[in-house]
Structure 1
Amino acid sequence: MTTANKETKTLDEFLAENPNVDVSKYWERCWGILSELKAKIAKRFADIEQHPSTFDREYYTSPNGEFEGSYKAWSGEGVEWLVNSWIGNRKASILDMNTTAFLGQETDVPHLVIVFGTVPHLFCYCDYTPRKNLLTNVDYLDKYYGGDVNDWYMKLRSNENFHWSVSHGPYMRALVNPATQSLMGELNHDNIDILEAYLHEMVDRWLAWLDNAEPVPENERAELQRNDHIIREMGYARDPMNKLAANVFGADEVDNMIELRMGRQQMLANKKY
């Protein structure tokens, strides 16, 4: 059944409309932005090192050559899992590109998630993923999602160049919070310019939060990490995009890729709970 409403169209439906668009120049632009953001974040965590599980994934392809990609992740004091990755087919419309930072438990500053995609419409998902229940920890809500952040969020949300994109995965919708943007628009440089400025402001604010954060008491860090790891695991395991990858790589290999993407080895080696 075809979905009429563009906000609830599946990725398959968007791709079926324009399956063979060469998006290489937009990959170059968006990947460059994400790489700049990753470098800005990495500078804040001076002692991070690339995790060994990602050493052989700097560039890879699917067995049939249809998909290609890169997956690199770093870990160190203050940040458990800093990711810079992309996967897709630059000649056939589909790309998924990420810069994501899951923090350590020294602070309770929100995690950072930034995604660019093409289907071949331009897609952007970004948020400050909360570390506390926003419905009960209203001080945390006000601190990280109110005031100027709310105004900044609403300005982009009201931009007529973009419309909301609804995930068909219920867990992905459960992740939506007051800072979540899940937007789609025409694939052009003007729209990328708007998002580039927004994302740099997003990262700069987040880095300032880290610089001024109060430390989490030692006796609360194990439970915070347990929750962090659940969110990390489920966000990757329940992503509807996995279905597209399974069609190309096969279900077993995608299971391995999900384990890599969430950083299972890093979680097991460093868990406090």
Structure 2
Amino acid sequence: MSLTKNKETKTLDEFLAENPNVDVSRYWERCWGILTALKQKITDKFPHLSQHPSTFDRDYYTSPNGEFEGSYAAWTGNGVEWLVNSWIGNRKASILDMNTTAFLGQETDVPHLVIVFGTVPKLFCYCDYTPRKNLLTDPDYLDKYYGPEVNEWYMKLRSHPNFHWSVSHGSYMRALINPATQSLMGELNDENISIFETYLHQMVDRWLGWLDQASPVPEAERPALQRNDHIIREMSYRRDPMNKLAANVFGQAEVENMIELRMGKAQIDASTTY
């Protein structure tokens, strides 16, 4: 049997080919509501954030052929370089990619936060605390943010019988995997969305608690930290396999523009200190 036929290693195209025309509008509403509530928790913590001008005209947009639609907004300010709340896809034809992502400033070394919901039309959830240091060479950082409490919490969801692991076909995306990464797929239903909802609120609440307790990063170390942050931020968008699907409906040139918008290239260029 071909590896791509294994449910853990199927491509997005293979999942969509099985059920290409499922109306997922109701589930979009549910998942988008969860992500919006999580984003609100973050903006409550950082009330001074302002929406970046590059995203002012992306409240709602469509592809030229009307096949894809979406919304993209990003905020920036002291403590948070790039907070994203976005979705893209076709609510009438199975495919959705929705996310709330927070790339922090260099005032602390608290991990970044990445949360993604998707439908293919199976339910997909990817989430993690993206590390700011090398976990293989900095065991103190590993123990601080990925220790027994997080490990036990992680394993409980990872072993849930409703879900199986979903392997990215992008090698960079697999390189991002860390001890807090969940990349899970299951049936698209309210029960499974509710399981993820509980987990993700716990995830954000813990992360906000880390920010409350964080020690400042010395000024001299911040440029190097920012350089690493920006590389991860850029590559995680540039090398996302989802870009291939978007290129089919927006065209490659427009997708390149969208990638620069999603990663916040204008904000990176304006804020670089290294």
Fold shared, TM-score > 0.5 on shorter chain: yes
Report the Cα distance in structure 2 between the residues aligned to 1:169 and 1:233, rounded to whole angstroms: 15
Could you say what secondary structure the match of 2:56 adopts?
A: helix
Could you say what secondary structure the match of 2:5 adopts?
A: coil
Q: Which runs of 4+ in 1 moved over 6 A?
A: none
Report the Cα distance in structure 2 between the residues aligned to 1:122 and 1:255, rounded to whole angstroms: 27
Report the Cα distance in structure 2 between the residues aligned to 1:171 and 1:107, rounded to whole angstroms: 25
Could you say what secondary structure the match of 2:125 adopts?
A: strand
Report the Cα distance in structure 2 between the residues aligned to 1:87 and 1:2, rounded to whole angstroms: 28
Amino-acid identity (%): 81
Residue ranges of structure 2 left out of the alignment (5+ in a row): none
2:68: which partner in 1? Answer: 67
1:34-60 deviation line (CA, Å, top 9, x unaligned): 000000001111210000000000000
8 Å contact from structure 2 (residues 103, 112) kept in 1: yes
TM-score (normalised: structure 2): 0.99
8 Å contact from structure 1 (residues 2, 13) kept in 2: no
Report the Cα distance in structure 1 between the residues aligned to 2:263 and 2:244, rounded to whole angstroms: 17
1:173-199 deviation line (CA, Å, top 9, x unaligned): 000000000000000000000000000
1:206: which partner in 2? Answer: 207
Report the Cα distance in structure 1 between the residues aligned to 2:265 and 2:86, rounded to whole angstroms: 16
1:97: which partner in 2? Answer: 98
Q: What is the deviation of 1:221?
A: 0.2
1:81: which partner in 2? Answer: 82
1:7: which partner in 2? Answer: 8
Report the Cα distance in structure 1 between the residues aligned to 2:167 and 2:73, rounded to whole angstroms: 28
Report the Cα distance in structure 2 between the residues aligned to 1:6 and 1:23, rounded to whole angstroms: 21
Alignment of 1:257-268 (within 5 A): 257-268=258-269
1:236: which partner in 2? Answer: 237
2:47: which partner in 1? Answer: 46
Supply the AA of the counterpart residue of 1:104.
Answer: G
TM-score (normalised: structure 1): 0.99
2:180: which partner in 1? Answer: 179
Supply the AA of the counterpart residue of 2:229.
Answer: D
Report the Cα distance in structure 1 between the residues aligned to 2:231 and 2:5, rounded to whole angstroms: 34
Residue ranges of structure 1 left out of the alignment (5+ in a row): none
- Counting matched residue pairs gives 273
Q: What is the deviation of 1:2?
A: 7.7
Supply the AA of the counterpart residue of 1:135.
Answer: L
Supply the AA of the counterpart residue of 1:157.
Answer: R
Give the superposed CA RMSD: 0.7
Q: What is the deviation of 1:4?
A: 1.8
2:114: which partner in 1? Answer: 113
Supply the AA of the counterpart residue of 1:78.
Answer: G
Alignment of 1:6-45 (within 5 A): 6-45=7-46
2:137: which partner in 1? Answer: 136
1:125: which partner in 2? Answer: 126
Supply the AA of the counterpart residue of 2:108.
Answer: T
Could you say what secondary structure the match of 1:123 adopts?
A: strand
Report the Cα distance in structure 1 between the residues aligned to 2:200 and 2:68, rounded to whole angstroms: 27
2:248: which partner in 1? Answer: 247
Could you say what secondary structure the match of 2:4 adopts?
A: coil
Report the Cα distance in structure 1 between the residues aligned to 2:21 and 2:3, rounded to whole angstroms: 20
2:197: which partner in 1? Answer: 196
Supply the AA of the counterpart residue of 1:87.
Answer: I
Report the Cα distance in structure 2 between the residues aligned to 1:159 and 1:272, rounded to whole angstroms: 44
8 Å contact from structure 1 (residues 69, 85) kept in 2: yes
8 Å contact from structure 1 (residues 127, 180) kept in 2: yes
Q: What is the deviation of 1:238?
A: 0.3
Report the Cα distance in structure 1 between the residues aligned to 2:3 and 2:76, rounded to whole angstroms: 42
8 Å contact from structure 2 (residues 3, 9) kept in 1: no
Report the Cα distance in structure 2 between the residues aligned to 1:52 and 1:2, rounded to whole angstroms: 44
Report the Cα distance in structure 2 between the residues aligned to 1:247 and 1:171, rounded to whole angstroms: 21
Supply the AA of the counterpart residue of 1:136.
Answer: T
